[in-house]
Structure 1
Amino acid sequence: MSMEHFKNFKCSINHAVSDIIQFLVLASSYALMLALIKLNCTHKLFVNLITYIIHIIAPGTLTLFKILC
C-alpha cells in the first residue's frame, strides 16, 4: 500500500466518522428537543442550547474532520 493510497484511505475513514458524528449529534439534539416539547418544557434557554448544538457543533465536527484530511 503506497503512501497515497494510505492517505486516501485515512481520508475516507475521517469522512465516514465525521458523517456518523454529525448524524448522532443531530439525532440526539432533535430527540432532546422532542422530549422537552412533550414535557412542556419549552424554556428559552433549553431551546437556544439545542438550536446552538444543531447549527454550530454538528457542522463544526464535519468541518474539523474535513480539515484534517
Structure 2
Amino acid sequence: MEIRLKSVDEFNKLLLRKGYSKRALANKGNMGQATIHQISKGVRKPSPPVAKRILEALEVEFDEIFTIEK
C-alpha cells in the first residue's frame, strides 16, 4: 500500500493558503527541499514518516490531503 496526495493542485493551493513555500514547508518539517518538490509535483509518494511531518507542519488531518492506495 502507498500514501498518495489526493490532488497535486489542492496540495499546492493549501501551501499557499497556509503561507508556505515548498522551501519553508521543508524547513519546518525537517525534510529535504527536493522531497517536498517531488511530492508536490506528484512524482514521489511520501513515506509514512514524511507524510506525518507534512501533516504536522500544515496542521491538517491525513484525509484532507492524502489517501492510501493498494
Q: Same fold (TM over 0.5)?
A: no
Tell me the TM-score normalised to structure 1 length.
0.27
Tell me the TM-score normalised to structure 2 length.
0.26
Q: Give the number of the structure whose residues are more often helix, by fraction.
A: 1
